Structures are given as structure tokens and as C-alpha cells.
């Protein structure tokens, strides 16, 4: 791990950095997600691995009353994931685990003096369990290949355990030192070559009881997240999607005092997926802020590779 942080003096400067740290950690979980075809069924017994590389860069909108201004951030994430599909009560289900290695740089001006923080290391991993509730039963490969496309209703739960790099002495960390949970429901409607996807989710968080020097408690309200995707299937199993997400809420406090306001932001993006043979595929995604009231206004690009092992 490499870390560098210029000193911050005075209570006003410290309050500004506390605000920035809370703002970035809240947005890191909920703000940037755009995931088309999240509830597409898979044949049972399928195991796959995925490697993704993501770069996000841009400004951070802060509350006008906050002492920190002109904030910029650049964040890179290399993720390794593994997934397995199986049958559960006769329905198609999927379990997925992802481990992210993150590096980033954040800078901002506090009372006309510029400060910068860099971090590298392991962020909090994710575990997601999803299930098709209606529209597709659990099927092996041969039956799955012959099955017609139907409207799908799905649900999932994502769990983020607090095992990422965290030091209570530092204000900006890669890990959040708290549990996060995201229950979600999704609807996928096929229309010939088109598919319409919509999801509704709520991020919920436990408190971080060792926020700064181990003596502060950070609390964050739930974040509501809505997604919509329009997917068009091209030749040879390739597809192209237009993506949109809105998220709101998530006001946070430190020891009962306001640390960041509520989010009411919208992001737009696009995704392109291309199969390579029968077992591999690559996916490229891009998103940017459409309306940003508070938090990260990033331009994000993601490149991923997936390999179906068996």
C-alpha cells in the first residue's frame, strides 16, 4: 500500500475533509452502478469468472456551505469475480462474488489551500445472490437453448462486508468499516430483438463506529436506486444497451452532526457486449452524470472479460 496525505490544520479544514471523505465513501457504493441484463437466466451448473477494469474521473459537487471547494477525483478499480448458477426451489439462481483492488487520488481546496490524498489497496468485496421468481425455471444447457424468451421477474440481495483497507486514523479510506446491504427487484420484458429492463433497490448501511481516530460514529440514511435499460440484440449474440440510473437519499452524519446532504442524481450510459467463441465475451461500458446535485460527477469507463469455465 502506498499513501500520501498533506497535513490539514484547523477545525474548519478538518471539517471540510470529513465532509469530503463521507461524500466519496457514500457515492462509491451506489452512485455509479449501471448493469443491463442483470436478471438474464443462465443454464444451471454454469461457472464463470470475470475480470473488469474501471476508471472514473471528474469533479465532486459539495454543499455550498462546506469549506472544501474545487474537488476532483480519479479512481481506478481492478475487479475479479466468480459466479455459479444453480437451481433453487425449481427456479434459476445465481451467486456471484467480486473482489476489487482500488487506487485513487482526491484533491480539493480548503480556504484557498490545495490538499491531495492518494490510496491504493483492497476495497470492500461484494457477494450477490439473485433468483428468477417468474418467467424462467431452472434448466440445463440443452433445455435452456430451446426455451422461448418470456417476461422475467427477479430479485437479488447484495452484501458488502467491511473487510477492505481501513485505518481509523485516516479520513479517506478504501474500505468503509461498515456492512452494506442492497435488496433489489427487477423486471425484464423481451420484445423480439429488444429487451426492456427496470430495477428498484435500496442500499442500507450499518454505522461506522470507528470513523475518525476511532472516536466518532458515522451514520448514513438509506439510498434509493432506480435503473432502466433498453437492450438491442445484434447478430451472433452481441448486444447493445442504453442505460440510465437515478439515486436519492443517503444523507450522512458524524456524531449526530451533518456530514453530507441528500443525493438526487441521474446518470446515463451505454454498454456493448461481444461474444468470443462459445465460452468467452468482452463488455465495454461508459456512463456520465446527467444531473448531479451532490456527490461524484464522474465519467466512467469499464472494460470486462468473462469466461464460462463449464
* Torsion 219-34-39-133 (CA) sign: positive
Region 269-282: what's the mean pLDDT? Answer: 95
Report the first-to-last Cα separation within the chain, whole angstroms. 36
Structural domains of the chain, ranges and CATH numbers in brackets: 4-308 (2.40.128.130)
The DSSP output letter for 139 is: -
The answer, yes or no, to whether residue 27 has pLDDT greater than 50, is no
Q: Give Cα 215 to chain centroid, integer Å.
A: 28
Which H/E stretch holds residue 144? helix 141-146
The answer, yes or no, to whether residue 25 has pLDDT greater than 60, is no
Core vs surface per residue 3-18: b (16+ CB within 10 A) or e: eeeeebeeeebebbbb
The answer, yes or no, to whether residue 178 has pLDDT greater than 90, is yes
Region 254-258: what's the mean pLDDT? Answer: 87
Alpha helices in the chain (DSSP H): 11-30, 141-146
Amino acid at each position: 500500500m502506498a499513501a500520501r496525505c498533506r497535513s490539514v490544520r484547523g477545525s474548519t479544514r478538518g471539517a471540510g475533509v470529513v465532509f469530503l471523505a463521507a461524500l466519496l465513501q457514500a457515492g462509491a457504493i451506489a452512485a455509479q452502478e449501471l448493469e443491463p441484463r442483470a436478471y438474464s437466466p443462465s443454464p444451471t451448473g454454469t461457472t464463470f469468472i470475470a475480470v473488469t477494469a474501471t476508471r472514473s474521473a471528474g469533479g465532486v459537487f459539495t454543499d455550498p456551505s462546506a469549506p472544501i471547494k474545487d474537488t476532483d477525483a480519479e479512481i481506478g478499480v481492478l475487479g475479479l469475480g466468480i459466479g455459479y448458477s444453480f437451481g433453487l426451489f425449481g427456479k434459476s439462481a445465481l451467486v456471484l462474488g467480486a473482489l476489487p483492488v482500488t487506487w485513487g487520488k482526491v484533491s480539493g481546496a480548503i480556504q484557498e489551500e490545495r490538499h491531495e490524498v492518494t490510496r491504493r489497496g483492497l476495497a470492500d468485496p461484494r457477494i450477490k445472490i439473485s433468483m428468477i421468481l417468474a418467467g424462467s425455471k431452472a434448466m440445463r444447457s440443452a433445455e435452456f437453448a430451446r426455451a422461448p424468451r418470456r417476461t422475467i421477474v427477479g430479485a437479488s440481495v447484495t452484501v458488502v462486508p467491511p473487510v477492505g483497507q481501513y485505518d481509523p486514523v485516516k479520513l479517506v479510506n478504501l474500505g468503509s468499516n461498515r456492512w452494506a446491504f442492497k435488496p433489489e427487484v427487477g423486471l425484464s420484458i423481451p420484445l423480439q430483438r429488444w429487451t426492456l429492463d427496470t430495477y428498484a433497490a435500496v442500499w442500507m448501511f450499518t454505522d461506522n463506529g470507528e470513523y475518525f481516530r476511532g472516536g466518532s460514529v458515522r451514520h448514513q440514511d438509506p439510498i434509493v436506486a432506480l435503473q432502466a435499460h433498453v437492450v438491442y440484440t445484434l447478430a451472433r449474440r452481441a448486444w447493445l444497451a442504453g442505460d440510465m440510473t437515478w439515486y436519492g437519499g443517503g444523507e450522512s452524519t458524524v456524531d449526530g452532526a451533518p456530514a453530507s446532504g441528500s443525493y438526487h442524481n441521474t446518470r446515463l450510459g451505454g454498454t456493448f457486449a461481444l461474444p468470443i467463441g462459445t465460452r468467452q465475451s468482452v463488455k465495454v461500458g461508459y456512463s456520465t452524470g446527467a444531473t448531479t446535485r451532490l456527490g461524484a460527477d464522474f465519467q466512467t469507463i469499464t472494460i470486462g472479460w468473462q469466461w464460462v469455465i463449464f
